[in-house]
Structure 1
Amino acid sequence: MRFKKKVNFFNRSLLKEWLTFLSPISVVVTCISIAISIPDEYKLWTLMLILFFFALIYFILWVRANLLDERKLTINNSTVTIKVGDVFEESGLKVIAFNEYFDTQVDNKIISEATLNGIYLKNMIQDVKVLDQQIEQDEHLNSDGIKVGYNETRSRGKKAKYRLGTIFQHGEYLLTAFSKFDNKNRAYLQMNDYINFLLNFWNEVDIVYNGRSIVIPLLGSGLTRFKKYEMITDQELLELLIWSFKISKIKFTYPSTVSIIIHESKKDKINFYKIKEQTNGL
């Protein structure tokens, strides 16, 4: 297992966890020292052994904090799990991010075959034309406020444009309009678009999930361009996703849960210990 330092050695929360862990041990050591008289010539060695033991515990806690690849949180009385994995191998309704046109053309121009979107269309859909027809005729997608425009100037891909956050359910997959496209078919978002997407997305999830678990990839990680926010990190995207779930007030009652799946290639960019630090009060 490759070790990557994510948590500072003198992290305040880690120190607090260490002190909490030591409290009962210190009580036991104190009781033993009262009951057993240690000869003077061994007192220094005993003290050094105890200090070494305490330092070893801290070191183990620090290593564990850096190696974490899963966290379980309780938010709005719902269980939210953040973990490394493969979206397609999880059970539940799996979210797949599409662009605002629900394009299905995997040609490495509109949709890259290396993206989750491209993998889904190539491996999980037998007939793309049938999917296109279902999207075009879907009652929800054709309702007021969902279809927000028609782009006649597009030379490639579809022309009907949908509100960000809109969900089309296709079997056990929730296809969601996530990113905008510029005139060169490049995905992008403004930060306010991303926030609006999250709020609309959770509202739509609340309508369709019907007591089932939801599996979500790290939305926004990868090729999507955040205009004016070139340096936004995967950690920040994850924290925004968790924050948006909190304020949505959706409650997933047991046994349904929310899982946020981090791809193996992204795990070194996620500080799982920090997630717990920042959400202790949720």
Structure 2
Amino acid sequence: MSSHRDTYRASCTGFRAGFMAPPAMRQVRVRDRRATAQVGRHARLELVFAVRDGRTVLTHSYAEPPFRPGRWFAEGSGLHMILASSSPGVFGGDVLDQSVVVEEGASVRLTSQSAPQLHPSASGATARVRSSYRVAAGARLSCHWDASIPFAGACLDQRIEVDVAGGAELYWSDAMMGGRDARGERWRFSSIAHELRICRAGALAYLERFRIAPADRSLSHPWIAGEATFFGTALAAGAVQTLPGEAERVHTMLNAIEGVRGAADTLDESFLVVRLMGKSSVPFHEARARVREMLTHS
């Protein structure tokens, strides 16, 4: 990254600080149209990655607080970026929108700065988070997010859409906790609505949708969550996993870890889905890490 040493610091009408930007980004300015009272509560993030001189670089970035593009690191010809936030978490009433585009041939790995915390508001308002990812032909996107932590009374409506072109590769892994168990807050949040939609080559390939409202029913029933308090999904699409028997190997590995229950299956010859749940943090995070290693071969 030695050729891109300009660090941008900007007002609400330009780029946010905290990343090294290539010169091509200097020409792009996006207007912040938020009212003053909305700053920090309503925000959008835009990231575009592309190939320049044989390497993946960030060609466009716009972030309204509390979004903050973190540092990036070269990984071969690809790029690893840590997405950060200047806020202690997501609060009821927040409206957050993020858009990520990975252009043809680019290779990007995104991770979170830390486990996102979901906080309640005094009014009981719902936080709304909308995320859009576009992966062009020949591109690769890997996202491994830390498990979200809902606090007592928190209310979240989250929608994620991933559009993967033919010939592109995707690895996606997200997770959530049942609450701050050590503080006696297991299943104490108000509600979480979640939708994950994956489209491949213009067709719907996977849809995960649920709404959890602990006050409506007991989630500790053996046929629902049982003793588990950690839950996750991992998806691999495209050439990121094509080895015969991969799903069976992942399935066997998961069920050999004490305190973890999971399953893996293929939707077609190049799309694998993993669902897992755990009783405690250490075995659950070990299982997620091993799934990532097996499906990305890294």
TM-score (norm 2): 0.26
Q: Which has the higher strand share?
A: 2
Higher relative contact order (CA 8 A, sep 6+): 1
Q: Quick check: which has more Rg, 1 or 2?
A: 1
TM-score (norm. length: structure 1) = 0.28
